[in-house]
A and B are shown apart, each in its own frame.
Chain A
């Protein structure tokens, strides 16, 4: 059982890493930092449901480290981390209430991800001006979260063998 879990988590890291690579190949949807679908989050959301926030967080952290080292660079790691941490915290809490499906949990995660990133950007760039882009990031976070939640929801339902 323990080996199986270890294997699953290892494969999850690989899958999430490949998804972030695939996403980095796609042309940016909009010329605003932070507007993207977040394909690796399909894996993270799946793990949140299958195992729990610790496993999802661990895989997310390793994925961020690896994709920063391989594709996106050091600065992107901290933006990714701030978004991922806030997003996972909110998603885990919302899932705990048992009142939302993966879709709803993911929408909250997507919105929180962008809020976390814009908060860090405002801190680093030492200005509140970036909040002019809050509406756009709120919108993109909602839509991206819905898409990720839809896909992860299918995955969670169809692999539910417990």
Chain B
């Protein structure tokens, strides 16, 4: 080996510190999110970063969303939202599954589409027409 032993030990310790640091940061951020998350009130549909539709999470419905790239079938059911079908290549948006908490989202990158949950306690932004 080219490296002497002390140097080797030091790099190994630094590696370990970096690794655990990153894992810890992920854990802390994840824990914070689990603690602070709130149930949402609205389902917002965004295409190219612009809001194109907004539905209450409390009403069951099925909407076909047409995008430049293709379609996505949005279903709101029992206070949860999910995409039932789409014609994007990887179908990650469909596999994402159901979302119900504010801040959660389903992203379909090929269609530049995002479906996200908004509105914690008040939902004032919807009342004022935001």
B23 and A142 form a contact (CB under 8 A): yes
Which of A101, A104, A125, A134 has a CB less than 8 Å from the CB of B46? Answer: A125
In the assembled complex, B105 has its CB within 8 A of some CB on chain A: yes
With an 8 A cutoff between CB atoms, is A75 at the interface?
Answer: yes
B26 in complex: contacting residue of A32, A73, A79, A139, CB < 8 Å: A139
CA A136 to CA B27, docked complex, whole Å: 9
Alpha-carbon gap, A108 to B18, bound state (A): 8
Please classify the interface of chain B as helix (H, G, I), strand (E, B), loop, or mixed, using the class held by over half of its residues: helix
Q: Mark B1-44, 1 if CB is under 8 A from A, else 0.
A: 01000000011101100110011011101100100000000000
Residue in A79, A111, A135, A141 whose Cβ sees the most chain B Cβ within 10 Å: A135
* Contact of B29 with A129 in the complex, beta carbons under 8 Å: no
Question: For the complex, what is the distance from the CA of A160 to the CA of B97, rounded to whole Å?
Answer: 47
Write the A30-57 contact mask toward B (1 if CB under 8 angstroms, else 0).
Answer: 0111000000000000000000000000
Q: Which stretch of B57-65, B107-115, B122-130 is in the interface?
A: B107-115
The tally of residues in A whose CB lies under 8 Å from a CB in B reads 34
Q: How far is the CA of A33 from the CA of B107 in the complex (A)?
A: 8
Bound together, the chains give a CA A73 to CA B108 distance in angstroms of 14
Count of B interface residues, CB-CB < 8 Å: 36
**A142-B30 Cα distance, complex, nearest whole Å:** 14
Out of B14, B26, B89, which one reaches A99, CB within 8 Å? Answer: B14
| Chain A neighbourhood of B93, CB < 8 A | 31
* Given A100-B14, A142-B22, CB of A132 within 8 Å of CB of B105: yes
Knowing that A126-B50, A138-B29, A142-B19 touch, tell me 13 more A-B residue pairs with CB under 8 angstroms: A28-B90, A31-B95, A32-B96, A73-B89, A104-B19, A107-B18, A126-B46, A129-B103, A132-B104, A135-B26, A136-B26, A138-B26, A160-B2
Q: Can you report 29 residue pairs joining A to B where beta carbons are below 8 Å apart? A: A31-B93, A31-B96, A31-B97, A33-B107, A75-B109, A75-B112, A99-B10, A99-B14, A100-B14, A100-B15, A104-B14, A104-B15, A107-B18, A121-B107, A124-B112, A125-B114, A126-B50, A129-B114, A132-B33, A132-B104, A133-B105, A135-B27, A138-B22, A138-B26, A139-B26, A139-B30, A141-B22, A142-B22, A146-B19
A residues at B contact (CB < 8 Å): 28, 31-33, 73, 75-76, 79, 99-101, 103-104, 107-108, 111, 121, 124-127, 129-130, 132-136, 138-139, 141-142, 146, 160
